[in-house]
Structure 1
Amino acid sequence: MSSDDGHNQAVARILVVEDEIFIAMEIERALTSGGFEVLGPVGSIEDALQLLHREQPDAAVLDVTLRDGRVTAVAALLRSRGVPFLLASAEGRQLTESGFFQGVTNLGKPTDMSRMIGEIRRLL
């Protein structure tokens, strides 16, 4: 018996950290229809860190500014585990030109969902 046409490749799991519920739902829908499994979405640093103690995502989409602060602690944990991530932040270009997030892709807001899917595929 074959396992569904040789598609035994595991589905990539993407962590979504976004505190605006409608944006989180839109990102989740786009990722699911793009063939990914979504971890979350979670809307706080605390919830994201708790989830990361239980799960290992393949990549992540992070909003930078959440209700309980900046997402840097979550990004640092992902980086320490070798998990690539994208930002979906309304903050300007200076965010990724220097400092902790230097060189990370920021999809901006409103987020172009098809670009997000393409960038995640590129990261994986």
Structure 2
Amino acid sequence: MLNGRRVLIVEDETLIAMELGDLVADAGGRVVGPARSNRQALALLDREAVDVALLDLNLADGDATPTARRLIDEGIPVLICTAGVLPRTMRAAWPHLPVHSKPVAADRLIRTLADLSAGPLAGAAEPPPQAASGAAPTSWRA
């Protein structure tokens, strides 16, 4: 379903980040990260191509606003997946930013990432080959 898309995972909880990485890989995506903080995420963006990003809201060094801002400025689709509430400043700046509340069903998460990243791969001249059929697990809890 993700067909080789590079998915940046920004999540400060190690076990959740590992589970998200497994979901992305099982759906045919390529995991970039995970990053636990804005600092780590921004450093990854300096050296890795990314097609879509999955961000937790509350990170080790504050909320994900700096990372979201950079991604959005670069035209990279962002999905916020959090147990928290999107700050008013983020809602005002990006009113159409997709947000999923944890826990979220794995198929919904993957479907949203696939929909957001439906354009060409970052740095690719042509669309990727179809991924081998591998269904994502049906639920994800964190």
* TM category, shorter: 0.7 to 0.9
Q: Does 1:49 align with 2:12?
A: no
TM-score, normalization: structure 2? 0.74
- 2: CA distance, partners of 1:96 / 1:105: 15
- 2: CA distance, partners of 1:51 / 1:67: 16
Tell me which of the two structures has the higher relative contact order, counting C-alpha pairs closer than 8 angstroms and 6 or more residues apart. Answer: 2
Range with greater deviation from structure 2 (85-94 or 62-71): 85-94
Distance 1:112 1:96, change over 3 A: farther
- Residue 116 of structure 2 is matched in structure 1 by 123
1:99-118, aligned counterparts within 5 Å?
Answer: 99-118=92-111
**Unaligned 5+ residue runs, structure 2?**
118-142
Structure with greater proportional helix content: 1
Q: How many residues align?
A: 115
TM-score, normalization: structure 1? 0.84
- 2: CA distance, partners of 1:94 / 1:53: 26
Range with greater deviation from structure 2 (76-85 or 90-99): 90-99
CA contact (8 A) 1:13 1:37 kept: yes
CA contact (8 A) 1:64 1:71 kept: yes
**Unaligned 5+ residue runs, structure 1?**
1-9
